[in-house]
Amino acid sequence: NPLGSGLALAISHASHFLQPPPHQSIIIERMHSGARRFVTLDFGRPILLTDVLIPTCGDLASLSIDIWTLGEEVDGRRLVVATDISTHSLILHDLIPPPVCRFMKITVIGRYGSTNARAKIPLGFYYGHTYILPWESELKLMHDPLRGEGESANQPEIDQHLAMMVALQEDIQC
């Protein structure tokens, strides 16, 4: 039955939406009192970040998150600083407007008085979506150093956006 096999294929492609994200942690050696360490996550392509959850970690004094799409020095910005991560989870829920980013840098500072030579730091959970509509892209709204200021949308770009909107409308009607 071609209809049944097509449905099974569609369900298998969408099954990752129903799975909880995996638990990720990083082991940091020589994480002494006041030590500053960071890790950069690459989501693979620009996303709209909607939610962030990082569990408490008693080995940390603070945690900060920076995000960017093109380059840390080009369009990087600080998303959040948590100075109480040792006692409270960091929860960012329904970010409005959701920031567009591809890279996320998590910087941690070791808790004062800590003598741990090795610390297991939870990297947390990140939620968002990769379907970025043309008007949601912050890069289109602000000056992009890789594009000309006065460049207007050309016909192929308009056709691409129109095709994207038609596909989105068809998905909504299903």
Q: Take residue 119 and report the two structure tokens written for it.
A: 């610390």
Q: Which amino acid is at 69?
A: T
Digitized pLDDT (tens) for each residue of the chain, 174 residues in all:
555 566 677 767 666 666 666 778 888 888 888 889 999 999 888 888 999 999 999 889 999 999 999 999 999 999 999 999 999 999 999 998 889 999 999 999 988 877 667 888 888 888 888 766 665 665 554 444 444 444 455 677 777 777 777 777 776 665
Q: Which amino acid is at 64?
A: S
- Beta-bridge partner residues of 122: 25
Task: Supply the Cα-derived Rg of the chain in whole angstroms.
Answer: 20
pTM score over 0.75 = no
HSE value, Cβ hemisphere, 13 Å, CA-based, for 113: 3
DSSP-assigned letters across all residues of 61-105: EEEEEEEESS-HHHH-EEEEEETTTTTS-EEE-S-SSPPEEEEEE
The whole-angstrom separation of Cα 123 and Cα 87 is 16
Q: How many CB atoms lie within 10 A of CB 146?
A: 7
Classify domain 23-131 at the CATH class level.
mainly beta
Residue 12 is inside which H or E element, if any? Answer: helix 2-14
- The pLDDT value recorded for residue 145 is 42
Q: Cα dist. 76→98, 105, 134, 158 in Å?
A: 15, 10, 20, 28
CB 27 within 8 A of CB 119: yes
CB 102 within 8 A of CB 69: yes
**Domain map (residue ranges) of the chain:** 23-131
